[in-house]
Structure 1
Amino acid sequence: MYLFWHTVTRFGEAQLLLPALLAVTAWLALRAGAARVALVWLGTTAVAALLTTASKVAFIGYGVGYAPLDFTGISGHAMFSAAILPLLARETVGASHPRWHAPAVLAGLALAALVAVSRVKVHAHSPSECWVGFGLGAASSLLALRAAELPQASAPKKLVLIVGVWLAVAVAGAPPSRTHDWVTQLSVQLAGRSQPYTRAQMHREWQQQQQRLNGRVVAP
């Protein structure tokens, strides 16, 4: 199961999903009447990414978290997968009978939910961080679906093949994502810290606070 969860979790990496998103939105933008869809999808994804990054900077740089729920910031993998995979799946069946549209979106959400679970399984995030990320990403993709009507045409088979091969090859062979390292560097620089704030620090301080509230003195 170790290999399974580490493979699944890669389907949430920004370095894999963003090129796929850009390829499909570029195709949408070139189609008559579909430029609005591309802009809305890019916009909702950008807002979700900004909120996710802000939550990480707030914790790593400024110690803003919530120990009772083990929350240190929104899971980017869960967010990106839920924001992008449902619409990618929808665009593969765009020209099919409308009865296939909703199942395609649900299939994308199901894979994104599996990515969210994988982040817990590989000990990268707590459940609260993953499900907030999944919820934010799902809201992003569903808002894009409601705000602009997708064309009644599937993405070209060549484009679907290119995106599929890209995801398969990248999942198997791309180097590990360094986005967390970049966000950590940004956070400590913005906050003027020498070291990032950590999950262990948050829980230690919360336990000390609880003990003080219970009338027990904690030795320094």
Structure 2
Amino acid sequence: MTLWLLITRLGEAQILLPAAGLALLLLAQREDSRAAALRWALALGLGTLVTTVSKVAFLGFGWGIAALDFTGFSGHSMYAASVDIPLLATCALALFGRGRWGGALAGAALAALIAVSRVEVGAHSVSEAIAGFVLGGSLAAWVVAALPTRWPAQAALRTAVGLAPLGLTLWLAAGVAWAPPPVTHSLVVRLSLALSGREHPYTRAHLHATPRARLPVRSWPPAGDTDLA
């Protein structure tokens, strides 16, 4: 279990997005990869939006699929796929001048491992982990397809990024070891309650209740809180 807990941290947005940001800067500096940089930025925004909407729909309004044990896309799985796949594809191009799909395959393997970890630590169901991986993977494939097939040999560039895999490894290790606990879930819960007007979020137990549980909307003014003397 300890190993899975370490692996699952590799899917946290606070660790992955800074690494993606650095790669985006590298891509944006080259004319032949600016389109891919734009796609990647759009993909991350779209993935974040879809994942957040799916979580708000369940936490705030109880919209889920009981038959699939589905309460929303796994954010860790989505970010792992949408970041790791283009990131390692970019590293392959920068280091070897080619091999974008080989790098993408390595990123997909890492992202799949992180998706499995979400199930192993009990954070998500199988359907949620798969849905997140498929969403992020589809967006990542759209990004990788826009990357150039080859980058001309540039000694200065190769020297500058030659330590990229080592730097990335150190960054991920440092993130797993010292990054604070993520706050994204609590923020989504707050957003869900604000939009739905409920005092408590829906849980997986509500999803599988028979008949389907429906939480009451918060009354206003709250009990005991009135302007009447």
TM-score over 0.5 for the pair:
yes
Return the letter of the residue paired with 2:192: S
Identify, as 1 or 2, the structure richer in helix.
1
Bigger radius of gyration, 1 or 2? 2
Letter in 1 for 2:211: Q
Whole-angstrom CA distance in 1 between matches of 2:201 and 2:108? 33
Supply the distance in 1 between the matched residues of 2:69 and 2:54 (Cα, whole angstroms).
14
Query: Residue 217 of structure 1 corresponds to which residue in structure 2?
Result: none
Task: Check the 8 A contact 1:53/1:183 in 2, yes or no.
Answer: yes
- The corresponding residue for 1:208 is 211
Match of 1:195 in 2: 200
> Retained in 2: the 8 A contact 1:40–1:148?
no
Structure 1 partner of 2:122: 123
Following TM superposition, by how much is the alpha carbon of 1:97 offset from its aligned partner in structure 2, in angstroms?
Answer: 6.1
Per the alignment, residue 138 of structure 1 pairs with 137
- Alignment-derived partner of residue 82 in structure 1: 81
Instruction: Show CA shifts across 1:165-219 (max 9, x none).
Output: 2211011121111110110001100111111111111111xx336xxxxxxxxxx
Q: Distance in 2 between matches of 1:51 and 1:59?
A: 13
Structure 2 distance, partners of 1:13, 1:140, is 18
Deviation per residue, 1:154-174 (Å, 9 max, x gap): 672355544332211011121
**TM-score, length basis structure 1:** 0.87
Does the CA contact (< 8 Å) of 2:73 and 2:128 recur in 1?
A: yes
Give per-residue Cα distances to partners, 1:6-35, cap 9 Å, x unaligned: 011011100000000111101211223322
Matched, 1:93 2:99: no
Which residue is equivalent to 1:15? 14
C-alpha contact 1:37 1:150 (8 A) present in aligned 2? no
- 1:46–1:28 Cα change, 3 Å: same
Between 1:162-171 and 1:36-45, the stretch displaced more is 162-171
Structure 2 residue 66 is the aligned partner of structure 1 residue 63: no
| Distance 1:158-1:148 versus aligned 2 partners, 3 A rule | closer
5+ residue gaps in structure 1? 210-220
In structure 2, distance between residues paired with 1:9 and 1:19: 17
Structure 2 residue runs without a partner (length 5+) = 153-157, 213-229
TM-score (norm 2): 0.84
Structure 1 residues 60-101: Cα deviation after superposition (integer angstroms, max 9, x where no partner): 011110111110000000000011101111122214264x43
Q: Does 1:164 align with 2:169?
A: yes
How many residue pairs are counted as aligned between the two chains?
Answer: 205
For residues 28-48 of structure 1, the C-alpha deviation after alignment (integer angstroms, 9 at most, x for no partner) is: 112233222111111112101
What CA distance in whole angstroms lies between the structure 2 residues aligned with 1:146 and 1:119?
A: 28
Identity of aligned residues (%): 43
Contact 1:34 1:151 in 2 (8 A): no
1:34–1:150: 8 Å Cα contact kept in structure 2?
A: no
- CA root-mean-square deviation: 1.8
> Is the Cα–Cα contact under 8 Å of residues 100 and 147 in structure 2 kept in the other structure?
no
